[in-house]
């Protein structure tokens, strides 16, 4: 067992039990005498693994039968491109809501492919009483013939999360990279859900796409077959050789999550973890957080030291205490504690104890 608590935003820590199991069976998986990395993706053993992975994910997220589950290449950004390529053929238009770094990066990618005239964007973050908060526009009042509206439910860098459902006349495409399976969501409210794996699913590179079947009928742009959702769907996500080890680990994480009681149990624990940390920040004048309470991310808790000249010392002492990867993203500075599903409550308690002790040193 490691004494380290790893708060990295991604690639993030994976459940320790999963890592230990993977270690044990690394060179002899399923009694085959070889690693899961070394077998054909078309072998009956691997296909059984993929079927089990999909079944477990469908149960965990309660995914209706008119949705396809795809295991794709390219991480989160890969889907920024794929969403456009798959749905915006024949001069289609889309609307993007922007609430931070990742939704903004998605817009840039979309504009690059179909040009500014086909992408509308609305900034949905407002400052109120010095705090960033999301104000969702009334989409029903907008004119526009959009194929979809895209947003990012949890901005990993900014620590801004949208918990409200989007009431939209157009199909909703959501980036759930850093919040998938951290809380219960109603999949039927979305047309497409995608997530890079490296936070709540498994190793980076892999991404999960959950797509409603009618979306696959939209005209697409000419694109690479390996990023084409229809091709992936027709080939059980195996048009070419998939990232098999990542898929295997994802399946193990899904099993682990089920054994923890599923998404609802995880949501309760995540609420408890986030509340502890935000309480520590709010109760201590040494720390601040610039996000309105109802948009505070449960997965990425950003905070600043009021005296930022102590940032380096904070990070140094935290590391000595076994609390690593707390430095905020270079764009926003300060600190960020990413507390995804795999972070145990003890990790958050250890961080809170450290933060309180650190603040006392400078009283």
Cis peptide before 359 (omega within 30 of 0): no
Is there binding between residue 156 and ligand PMP (CB under 6 A)? yes
Smallest distance, ligand PMP to C-beta of residue 359, A: 29
CB-nearest residue to ligand PMP: 75
Q: Which of 199, 228, 255, 327 is catalytic?
A: 199
- Six token digits for residue 22: 């993977």
- Output the smallest distance, CB 102 to ligand PMP, in A: 4
Minimum CB distance to ligand PMP, residue 125 (Å)? 15
- Judge whether 156 is annotated as a binding position: yes
**101 is known to lie in a ligand binding site:** no
CB under 6 A: which stretch of 50-58, 70-78, 123-131, 218-226 binds ligand PMP?
70-78
The reply to whether 177 sits near ligand PMP by the rule CB under 6 A is yes
* 240 annotated to bind ligand: yes
Token pair in block for residue 62: 């309660």
Cα dist. 196→175, 214, 315 in Å?
A: 9, 23, 27
Q: Which of 102, 190, 247, 278 binds ligand PMP (CB under 6 A)?
A: 102
Instruction: Give the long-range contacts of residues 18-24, CB within 8 A, separation 24 or more.
Output: 18/249, 18/252, 18/253, 18/256, 21/252, 22/248, 22/249, 22/252
In 98-153, which residue ranges form alpha helices assigned H by DSSP? 101-114
Q: Does 196 bind ligand PMP (CB under 6 A)?
A: yes
Phi, psi values for residue 288, rounded to 5°: -135, 160
Tell me: is residue 175 an annotated ligand-binding position.
Answer: yes
Distance CA 342, CA 251 (A): 15
Would you count residue 104 as binding ligand PMP (CB under 6 A)?
no
Indicate whether 76 belongs to the interface with ligand PMP (CB under 6 A).
Answer: yes
Q: How far is the CB of 68 from ligand PMP (least distance, A)?
A: 21
Cα-based distances in Å from 117 to 93, 106, 113, 147: 8, 16, 11, 14
Take residue 362 and report the two structure tokens written for it.
């400078």
316 in active site: no
118 binds ligand PMP (CB under 6 A): no
Q: Please, which residue, 70 or 280, has the CB nearer to ligand PMP?
A: 70
106 and 96 in contact (C-beta within 8 Å)? yes
Catalytic residue among 29, 158, 170, 175: 175
- The angle that helices 262-283 and 244-259 make with each other, rounded to 10 degrees, is 80
Helix, strand, or coil (residue 164):
coil
For the bound state, the minimum distance from the C-beta of residue 80 to ligand PMP, rounded and expressed in Å, comes to: 7
Residue among 31, 71, 23, 66 nearest 250 (CA) = 71
| Residue 42 marked in a binding site | yes
Q: Which is nearer to ligand PMP, 146 or 194 (CB)?
A: 194
Q: Hunting for tokens 């994976």 — which residue is that?
A: 14
81 counts as binding ligand PMP under rule CB under 6 A? no
Residue 204 touching ligand PMP (CB under 6 A)? yes
Q: With beta carbons less than 8 A apart as the criterion, state whether 77 and 101 touch.
A: no
- Cβ 152 to ligand PMP, closest distance in Å? 5
Tell me whether residue 77 or residue 212 sits nearer to ligand PMP (CB atom).
Answer: 77
Cβ atoms 95, 173 nearer than 8 A: no
Exactly one of 29, 102, 247, 256 is catalytic; name it.
102
d(CA 95, CA 97) in angstroms, rounded, equals 7
> For strand 192-196 and strand 207-212, is the pairing parallel, antiparallel, or unpaired?
antiparallel
For residue 76, say whether it is annotated as part of any ligand binding site: yes
**Which range of residues in 43-51, 116-124, 173-181, 226-234 is near ligand PMP by CB under 6 A?**
173-181
Query: How far apart are the C-alpha atoms of 202 and 245, rounded to whole Å?
Result: 10
Nearer to ligand PMP by Cβ, of 197 and 359: the residue is: 197
* Residue 170 falls in the annotated catalytic set: no
Please tell me whether residue 178 binds ligand PMP under the rule CB under 6 A. yes
Using CB under 6 A as the binding criterion, the count of chain residues that bind ligand PMP stands at 12
77 binds ligand PMP (CB under 6 A): yes
Task: Indicate if 102 belongs to the active site.
Answer: yes
Residues at the site binding ligand PMP, with contacts judged by CB under 6 A: 10, 75-77, 102, 152, 156, 175, 177-178, 196, 204
Question: Which sequence positions are flagged as catalytic?
Answer: 102, 175, 199
């Amino acid at each position: 067992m490691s004494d380290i608590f790893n708060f990295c935003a991604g690639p993030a820590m994976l459940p320790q039990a999963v890592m230990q199991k993977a270690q044990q069976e690394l060179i002899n998986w399923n009694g085959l005498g070889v690693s899961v990395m070394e077998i054909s993706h078309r072998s009956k053993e691997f296909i059984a693994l993929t079927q089990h992975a999909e079944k477990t994910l469908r149960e965990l997220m309660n995914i209706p039968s008119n949705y396809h589950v795809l295991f794709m290449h390219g991480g989160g950004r890969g889907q920024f491109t794929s969403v456009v390529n798959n749905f915006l053929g024949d001069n289609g238009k889309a609307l993007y809501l922007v609430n931070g770094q990742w939704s903004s990066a998605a817009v840039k990618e979309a504009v690059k492919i179909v040009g500014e005239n086909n992408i509308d964007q609305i900034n949905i973050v407002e400052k109120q009483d010095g705090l960033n908060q999301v104000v969702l526009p009334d989409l029903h009042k907008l004119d526009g013939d959009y194929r979809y509206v895209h947003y990012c439910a949890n901005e990993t860098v900014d620590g801004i999360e949208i918990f409200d459902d989007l009431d939209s006349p157009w199909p909703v495409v959501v980036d759930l990279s850093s919040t998938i399976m951290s809380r219960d969501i109603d999949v039927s409210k979305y047309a497409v859900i995608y997530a890079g794996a490296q936070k709540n699913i498994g190793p980076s590179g892999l991404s999960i796409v959950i797509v409603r079947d009618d979306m696959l009928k939209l005209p697409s742009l000419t694109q690479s077959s390996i990023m084409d959702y229809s091709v992936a769907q027709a080939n059980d996500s195996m048009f070419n050789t998939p990232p098999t080890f990542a898929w295997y680990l994802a399946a193990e994480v899904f099993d682990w999550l089920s054994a923890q009681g599923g998404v609802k149990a995880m949501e309760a624990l995540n609420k408890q973890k986030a509340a502890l940390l935000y309480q520590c920040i709010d109760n201590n004048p040494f720390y601040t957080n610039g996000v309105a309470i109802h948009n505070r991310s449960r997965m990425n808790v950003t905070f600043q030291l009021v005296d930022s000249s102590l940032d380096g010392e904070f990070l140094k002492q935290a590391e000595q205490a076994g609390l690593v990867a707390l430095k905020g993203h270079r764009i926003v500075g300060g600190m960020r504690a990413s507390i995804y599903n795999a972070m145990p409550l003890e990790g958050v308690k250890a961080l809170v104890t450290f933060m309180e002790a650190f603040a006392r040193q400078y009283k």
